[in-house]
Every structure is written in C-alpha cells, then in structure tokens.
Amino acid sequence: MQVLQDGEDLASQPWYHGPLSRQKAEALLQQDGDFLVRASGSRAGRPVISCRWQGSALHFEVLHVALRPRPGRPSALFQLEDERFPSLPSLVRSYVIGQRPLSRATGAVASRPVIRHGPIRRSFSEDTLLESPARSELPRARKWSDSQPAGLEHMGRSREDHSEPGASAVPMCALPRMGSDPGLLKTPSPLGSVVDSLRASDGQLHAKAPTKPPRTPSLVLREASECPPTYCELVPRVPSAQGTPLGHTGPETEAPWWEASEEEEEENRSFVRPEAEISFWPPNNPFCLLGPQNRPLEPRVLSTLRDLFLEHHPGSTALHLLLVDCQATGLLGVTKAQRCAMGVASGLELLTLPHGHRLRLELLERHEALALAGALAVLGCAGPLEERAATLRGLVELALALRPGAAGDLPGLAAVMGALLMPQVSRLERTWRQLRRSHTEAALAFEQELKPLMRALDEGAGPCEPGEVALPHVAPAVRLLEGEELPGPLDESCERLLRTLHRARQVARDAPKFREAAARRLRGFRPNPQLREALTTGFVQRLLWGSRGVGAPQDARLEKFQRVLSVLSQRLEPDV
C-alpha cells in the first residue's frame, strides 16, 4: 500500500481533510486500517491521525515542534513516539508503507487512506501544518554587499546567489533599514560547521569580517500553539539542541515546579513548632470546564470529559494522574513555607505524624472520589454493550499504565482498581463477558496481574521500591492511623497491622528517593491543562455532587452517590 503524494504539500495529500471534528472523522472510518489526518478543532488545529482499529476509532495527536530557521534542516519536526520527521507527509508515508503501529500500546496500523472529496476548508491555526515551501511566501530578496574590498565582487547579487552551491536557501524576513543591518542578514552557518573566526593577519581584506552588533532583536519562530502539545501515547521527547552552532545560546525556559531542584535545608536553623492543619489542595480557583455554579453530572461536562480522555492514550493519562497525585500527596511542589510549617520535607512523612490528620482525610477523600468517577464512566454508558466493554478495557489499560515499573503511581492504581472492583461494576456479568470475548488480553491482565497485585498492596506485601514505584500505596496506613479496624481473624489482622506499620516507616524514610523517582518520570512532561484540572480532587467533587452538594458531610455524600450507582447498574443489567 502506498500513499499518493505530490511533493511535500500537505494540502495536496488525499488523506488530509483539514479542519474536521472527531465525530465526523469517526463516521468516515469504516474498516480496520482506515485512516485520515485532520486539524483538530479542540486542539487548536494541531494535526491528529484518526484510525479505526479492532472496531474502535483511535486518535493520535502528532507532536509538532517549530525550529529556528537553519540552512540544511527543516523548519519543523513531526513526531508520534520516538522517530522525528521533517514533514507530516513523510511521517505518514513511513508508518503506512512500513505497516508500523502508530503506537506500541495499541498496535493500530494505518493502511487504507480515506480519500478527501472537495477542497479543504481553511480554519484554526492550519497554517502551522502546511509546511510546503510552495505555500510560504518568500520575502523580497535583499541585495547584499559589504563595505570590505573582498565583498565588492558580490555587489548586486542577492543573498541566495552568494550562498555556496548545494546550500539550502533560507527565507529571510524583511527588516527595517538601519545603520548596521547587513549584520542582521548574515546567513547562519550550517549545522555542525565551525564558524571561521577573524585572524589578526587577515586584516580588512578578510571576507568575513566581524559585523556590528544588531540593533534589532533576533527573530524567533513562534510555537505552533499557545497550549502545550500533548500526545495520546506516553511522553513525547522534544528534539534536543545538539546541533546548535557554536556560540549560540537559546532563550532559557523556566523549569516546571515538579522538575525544580529542592532547596537544601539549613542544618542549624531554629526549631519551629509544626502546625496542625497542613493542606496540599490547590486553592478554590475557578475551573475551566465547570461554571461557578454547576449541577451534579452535567451532561455537557461529561461529554467534554469523554472526548478529552479519548484524545489521550492511557500512558499519557497515567502521567497526568501521577503529576496530580504527587501534588495532592505533598511529594512534589512543596514550598519552603510548607516544609517549615509541617516540620518535615514531604507529605509522605507528614501522613505518619499526629498533625498529618488533615492530609490523611484529604487522601481518603481523593481515593473515594476518583473511584466513584471511574465507576461512573462505566455505569454511565447507556449505549451498546461493546461501548461499556471498551470503557472497561480503557480502565484496565490505565491501571496497567499506573502499575509499578510503568508510571508507578500506586494511589492512582488503587483508585482505578477500586472502580473496577466496585460491586455495582463487578455485577455486570454481560459486560465482563463481552470484555473477555472482545478484549481478551485486557481481561487476562485484570484477572491474572492487576487483582493479585492490588491484593498484595492492600495487605502491605506488594512492591514498594523507589524507582520501580514513584508514589507508594499509602491508603492502608492512612486508614489504620485514622482508626479504621482491619478485617479478618485476629491473628491475620495483627500480622497485617505490623506489615502496614513497617511499610509506613519505610515510606517515610525513603521519601527523598520517591521524590527523585517521581521527578525523573515527569521530566520533560508537558501536561494538558484541561486534563490535569479534570483529575484534581476539587474538580471531581464538583462534578459528582455539584457546587452545592460538595459542602455536605462526606459520609452522606458517599452514601447518596452509591445509591445513584446502584440505580444505574440495575438499569444496565437488571436482576433476573
């Protein structure tokens, strides 16, 4: 199978449909292997490859990185997972002709393009996708010369004519004429070449005499979008700057708070009595996806969230959840004032202390809210049986992406498994049977890997080594310290009690190692602001109980929502 091509002009490719909504794209995908490329309206016009695979429509966002103009290299790079391409058509050709999976996790293969009929409707920020030289207007060529004798032979010749044979011509932007602006038009040296320096013996006859400092700031290509790019398959790696010419220094970007190095505490600082109320919840800022006064389970918000999660692969969602969990647990992003107030360096130490009562309650509240939201994602599917089975598969794949050795977010894993093991979900026999029939691998992974792993973690015997785990499972210790009794016979509960307390001491001791492991997994990660907001505790509470109901006592809220889930479960599969 070969993709029709006409140079590298994106608009001439038959599989490119321009601005197209996700719903319309899915309607065009009829058989497994059908694919098209569109400009996503919800992602500010960024390119998305839509493909049907195993009966489901999948959407893969292509990372688009704009580069500084340099001779001999493209103006942008396009990337799905690891390999980068100079244009979007070359990326599509590589994956289609080579029958390579668009992502290793899904195994989806694009083999049959959906041909576009009619002209492309231009909209969004589509200009950032059309990287064809034919579509970019070349600015007026400036006549180039210098005031040195060696440059007299170049009088009246354009800059492109002066370049060496074989060198790529770089379009130059028209700048206002200034006293020393020939220095602004100096062609950058090719990648990997060493810029010739002016020797003392060359004098004024050297053809590359140093120019005066430019009076106009350097021109920098803007990013393809104001929003940080996301991709529905793990963490995209932004191209490195290994080919930067000597002497060139790019603008320094501020590192995110989860990558910032922790300040060393002074050894001889004065003692400050710890405070009793320490919280790591962010302030009640207005949410982008929720209004100031929202009702529980608004259909518009639920539809938006469904589209948002469908655009992200479980690996990307797992990293978003790890980031939010680390902030809610007080592992990353802890300020110096918070460390001084609580008397320790992280929340993993605070939750084992008497004045960590508020943090423990917040962690329990977060676990229950996320588990209820996960169960709602399954029980809220009133459509075909296959749709509920696909939702179950998505939760299983998210749990696999959160397990030790992957993202290593064990609180997030516990919340997802809590949703899958909830009685209202586990009683759906026809749905689980459909999962085993249509998604056998996910069903086997849930039964043979995830359930035993979760049982071991709840009993304090699961993996908890920093590095393999970025954020440990602290729910058993939190429940125990809050006075919850352990189930089972007395002798077994005593052994479990000792294991849980021993694990809590290990977690507090290894808190710096867990912080390092979490920061290493999140290094270079560029989260989606909306998805990150949707995973916060405050947002989930407002979504489930509304702006008014969220202030009710926790026990009443949980009991009420359990009844809601029971009603939904009975409607899907009534008791015989």
- The CATH number linked to 531 is 1.10.840.10
Residue 147 pLDDT > 50, yes or no? Answer: no
Residue 394 pLDDT > 50, yes or no? Answer: yes
> Is position 282 within any domain?
no
Cα distance between residue 576 and residue 566, in whole Å: 15
- What pLDDT is stored for residue 280 in this prediction? 83
Helix (H) or strand (E) holding 376: helix 357-379
CA 356 to chain centre: 31
Higher per-residue confidence, 504 vs 163? 504
Beta bridge partners of 469: 466
> Is position 106 within any domain?
yes
- What pLDDT is stored for residue 121 in this prediction? 63
Residue 400 pLDDT > 80, yes or no? Answer: yes
Q: In terms of residues, how long is the chain? A: 576
Average pLDDT over residues 287-313: 90
Following DSSP, what letter does each residue of 264-287 receive, concatenated? PPPTTPPP-PPPS----SPP-PPP
Contact 335, 379 (CB under 8 A): no
Q: Which of 24-38, 222-236, 311-325, 476-490 has the lowest mean pLDDT?
A: 222-236
Q: At what angle do helices 314-329 and 511-522 cross, to 10 degrees?
A: 140
Instruction: Copy the structure tokens of residue 177.
Output: 């004429």
Q: At what angle do helices 410-420 and 357-379 cross, to 10 degrees?
A: 40
Cα distance between residue 296 and residue 300, in whole Å: 11
Residue 250 pLDDT > 80, yes or no? Answer: no
Helix (H) or strand (E) holding 64: strand 63-66
- What pLDDT is stored for residue 194 in this prediction? 36
* Residue 8 binned pLDDT confidence (cut-offs 50, 70, 90): low
Q: How far is CA 203 from CA 93, 144, 210, in A?
A: 52, 21, 11
- What pLDDT is stored for residue 124 in this prediction? 41
Residue 333 pLDDT > 60, yes or no? Answer: yes
Q: Which of 27-36, 281-290, 427-436 has the lowest mean pLDDT?
A: 281-290
Residue 567 pLDDT > 50, yes or no? Answer: yes
pLDDT in tens, 484-505: 877 766 667 788 888 899 999 9
Contact 442, 435 (CB under 8 A): yes
Contact 150, 206 (CB under 8 A): yes
Cα distance between residue 318 and residue 320, in whole Å: 5
SS (H, E, C) 400-452: HHHCCCCCCEHHHHHHHHHHHCCHHHHCCHHHHHHHHHHCHHHHHHHHHHHHH
Q: For the chain, how big is the Rg over CA atoms in Å?
A: 29
Average pLDDT over residues 47-62: 89
- What pLDDT is stored for residue 212 in this prediction? 47
> Is position 521 within any domain?
yes
What's the CATH code of the domain at 116?
Answer: 3.30.505.10
Cα distance between residue 242 and residue 250, in whole Å: 12
- What pLDDT is stored for residue 314 in this prediction? 92
- What pLDDT is stored for residue 485 in this prediction? 78
pLDDT in tens, 111-144: 899 988 877 765 444 444 444 443 433 334 444 4
* Residue 220 binned pLDDT confidence (cut-offs 50, 70, 90): very low
Last residue of one domain, picked from the residues 102, 132, 162: 132
Contact 38, 92 (CB under 8 A): no
- What pLDDT is stored for residue 271 in this prediction? 54
* Residue 43 binned pLDDT confidence (cut-offs 50, 70, 90): low
Last residue of one domain, picked from the residues 79, 100, 132: 132
The angle at the Cα of 450, spanning 447 to 454, to the nearest 5 degrees, equals 120
- What pLDDT is stored for residue 257 in this prediction? 59
Average pLDDT over residues 85-101: 87
Contact 130, 11 (CB under 8 A): yes
Cα distance between residue 81 and residue 226, in whole Å: 22
The sheet that has 76-79: what strands, in order across it?
63-66, 76-79, 84-85
Contact 280, 324 (CB under 8 A): no
Nearest to 515 by CA among 311, 269, 322, 249: 322
Enumerate the H helices of 510-574 as residue ranges.
Answer: 511-522, 529-534, 537-549, 554-572
Domain count, the chain: 2
Helix (H) or strand (E) holding 52: strand 47-53
- What pLDDT is stored for residue 258 in this prediction? 62
Q: At what angle do helices 314-329 and 410-420 cross, to 10 degrees?
A: 120
CA 31 to chain centre: 29
Residues 510-538 as b or e (16 or more Cβ within 10 Å = b): bbeebbebbbebbeebebbebbbbbbbbb
> Is position 26 within any domain?
yes
Residue 433 pLDDT > 50, yes or no? Answer: yes
> Is position 174 within any domain?
no
Cα distance between residue 531 and residue 539, in whole Å: 11
2 C-beta neighbours (distance < 10 Å), count? 8
Nearest to 568 by CA among 379, 395, 436: 379
> Is position 81 within any domain?
yes
User: Checking DSSP bridges between strand 16-19 and strand 63-66, what pairing results, if any?
Assistant: unpaired
Dihedral sign (CA 516, 521, 523, 528): negative
Average pLDDT over residues 365-375: 96
Instruction: Copy the structure tokens of residue 261.
Output: 């190095």
Average pLDDT over residues 331-335: 89
pLDDT in tens, 442-455: 999 999 999 999 99
pTM: 0.58
Domain that holds residue 477: 299-572
Q: At what angle do helices 490-509 and 511-522 cross, to 10 degrees?
A: 70
> Is position 160 within any domain?
no
Last residue of one domain, picked from the residues 115, 132, 149: 132
Mean pLDDT of the chain: 76
Nearest to 172 by CA among 68, 66, 64, 65: 68
Specify the 3-state DSSP secondary structure of 469.
Answer: strand
> Is position 211 within any domain?
no
Q: Which of 158-162, 294-298, 386-390 has the lowest mean pLDDT?
A: 158-162
